Structure 1
Amino acid sequence: MDKLTSILNQFSFSTGVFYTGQLCGLGSFEDEKSQTGHIHLLKQGELEAHEPGKAPVIFNEPTLIFYPRPVPHTIRAEKDSNTEVVCAEVHYGAGPSNPLASSLPSMISIPVNRDHRFKETVEWLFEEAFGSKCARQLVMDRLCEVLIVQLLRWVINNHQVDVGLMAGLADSRLARSMEAIHKEPAKNWNLVELAELANMARSRFAAHFREVNGQTPGDYIATWRVEVAKTHLKKGKRVGWVANEVGYENTSTLARIFRSRTGISPKEWQKQFMDH
């Protein structure tokens, strides 16, 4: 299992295209209660994207604009610019507050022509969006999911983030130790083992890990265990079983760590998820 697959197995996501066509005027995505990220694909024309408190960004070539978290923003096009877009929502299985979405900038943009595989996927999506083939909605939704995976590959390969999960996976020294944590969250990892995987001295590894990930190795392991626990809880697993599965001897230890990171107990979180 590669380093990105192990992440996506925990932070499942789905997309839903909700608009295709010409954009005239202002499109607003400022619902404070929103739990979704957004994709805006510019097919042609000129588009202005704006977040409160930041300078507007102008796009005038085919571009993927990705808001991984529920960030208030607007997109605008002049009426005579003949601007065409495809817009989709991004839903995360356990909600948008996860290390994957949190490790990315509030907005990422990639010109469609940056990579030939990326361009092929986008062109296929545009063909579906502005055509009338059978199962059009289903194909568009799946293609948007493929685009996100391609974008994440691009972020890792091009070192586009400085701190957090994606930065750690892009770091040639830390990637092996992080992959090991992801694959075996229940293992009682110690600093010496993780430093050896990174081929670094223990003190240097600890300092570099914290600098890149924004957490100590111990805190990162605890955070990852909570995310793995959420995956099991979503499937209706008992809290006691989940605790053992992620490396804790009893439910009280899991509950303490879980509450420190989510504000609620595993049972409360599971109930909230099931109710939705």
Structure 2
Amino acid sequence: MDALSEILKRFNLHADVFFSGNLCSLSEFDEPDGKRGHIHILKSGALELIDHSGKKRSIAQPCVMFFPRGKQHRIVPDPNKGADLVCATIDYQDVSAHPVALALPDFMKFQFSRYPDLKKSAKWIFKEAFGDADGRLPMIHRLCDIFIIQVLREVLKNGEIQHGMLAGLAHPQLSNVLTHIHAQADYPWSLETMAELAFMSRSKFADLFKDTVGETPGEYLTNWRMNIAKNALLKGDSVSMVAEKVGYENGSALARAFRKKIGLSPKAWQQQHLSV
């Protein structure tokens, strides 16, 4: 097991490229409900990035700009050079049930001169995006899916996130615990079994987990199970099937926990979201 594979297997990320070329006029991006993210990959040129708070950033080096939850932002290209960009949306189906989207900050920027692996991946995207080979569009979409995984690898490898799930996955002792929880949500986890995986006492493990992840181990386990439950409900699974997947004795037990956490029964939540 590795830190990302189980999450990405359960919760898909899908990139949909909607622009590639030279941007020569102001463009505004916004996802009011936060259900999709945005990623912009700058090949050349220069631009000014203005975020939802009005903060301005001048960007003139090849890089990737990542808005995991689609926060409002504007791109103003250089009036003389323009900006050669590949832009994509990132679909989560339901951002409230996607742990990666929830774990990332509002904005991240990676300059390729500091991230050689990202630079290699971006070169392939640029080759397809600014070329005319057969199968160009599906190739770009798939390459952007791969690129997002590469971004997440860099987040873990370089400790870009200091708090939350991804910080836990980057921690040498907590990573093993979280990876096992992610893979075995139906296991009857206890504080003792989690602490054993971290080779720590229960009290030290509980303190470290809370300080790093921001939740107690029990709270994290419940939230993880609820995220899996919501994801399964969105796929049309029955409440009894979902209960088995996430370690509850039956549908009634899941319904009680789900209603306490979400405020709706699993069935009501499912009907509400599948009817949208």
Distance between the aligned counterparts of 2:52 and 2:16, measured in 1? 25
Matched residue type, 2:164 = G
Deviations 1:12-63 (A, max 9, x none): 1101000111122321113424521001111111122221225212211110
Q: Residue 44 of structure 2 corresponds to which residue in structure 1?
A: 44
Partner AA of 1:274 in structure 2: L
Q: Distance in 2 between matches of 1:115 and 1:142?
A: 21
Question: What's 2:155 paired with?
Answer: 155
- TM-score normalised per structure 2: 0.93
RMSD, aligned α-carbons:
1.8
Pair 1:187-2:194 in alignment: no
Q: What residue is the counterpart of 1:141 in the other structure? A: 141
Instruction: Please give the alpha-carbon distance, in whole angstroms, between the structure 2 residues aligned to 1:107 and 1:219.
Output: 26
Q: Which amino acid aligns with 2:19?
A: Y
What amino acid is aligned across from residue 129 of structure 1 in structure 2? Answer: A
Q: Pairwise mapping of residues 64-83 of structure 1 onto structure 2 (< 5 A)?
A: 64-83=64-83
Partner Cα distance (2:92, 2:30) in 1 = 18
Rounded to whole Å, the distance in 1 between the matches of 2:96 and 2:90 is: 9
Q: Which residue of 2 aligns with 1:104?
A: 104
Question: Per-residue deviation at 1:269?
Answer: 3.0
**Aligned AA for 2:257?**
I
Q: Is the 8 A contact 2:21 2:86 kept in 1?
A: yes
Q: Greater shift after overlay, 52-61 or 237-246?
A: 52-61
Cα separation, 2, equivalents of 1:96 and 1:76: 30
> Aligned letter for 1:127?
K
Paired letter, 1:36? R
1:209, 1:199 → 2: CA distance?
Answer: 13
Distance 1:274 1:109, change over 3 A: same
Which residue identity lines up with residue 166 of structure 1 in the other structure?
Answer: L
C-alpha distance 31-238 of structure 1, shift in aligned 2 (>3 A): closer
- Give the whole-Å Cα distance in 2 for the aligned partners of 1:83 and 1:90: 21
Contact kept, 8 Å, 1:165 with 1:213, in 2: the verdict is: yes
Q: 1:261 to 1:146 in 2, by over 3 A?
A: farther
2:219 is aligned with 1:219: yes
**Aligned partners of 2:10 and 2:262: how far apart in 1?**
16
Q: Is 2:53 aligned against 1:53?
A: yes
Local SS of the residue matching 1:131? coil
Question: Aligned equivalents of 1:87 and 1:167: distance in 2?
Answer: 27
Kindly indicate whether residue 20 of structure 2 is the aligned counterpart of residue 20 of structure 1.
yes
Alpha-carbon distance in structure 2 between the residues aligned to 1:180 and 1:34? 29
**2:260 is the alignment partner of 1:250:** no
In structure 2, the CA distance between the partners of 1:178 and 1:123, relative to structure 1 (3 Å rule), is: same
Instruction: Give structure 1 stretches of 5+ with no counterpart.
Output: none
Q: Which residue matches 2:170?
A: 170
CA contact (8 A) 2:185 2:246 kept: yes
> Match of 1:247, as an amino acid?
G
The 10-residue stretch of structure 1 (76-85 or 176-185) with the greater mean CA deviation from structure 2: 76-85
Q: Which runs of 5+ in 2 are unaligned?
A: none
Q: Normalising to structure 1: TM-score of the pair?
A: 0.93
1:229 aligned partner, one-letter code: A
Q: Secondary structure at the match of 1:18?
A: strand
- CA drift at 1:145: 0.8
Identity of aligned residues (%): 39
Give the corresponding residue for 1:241.
Answer: 241
Count of residue correspondences: 276
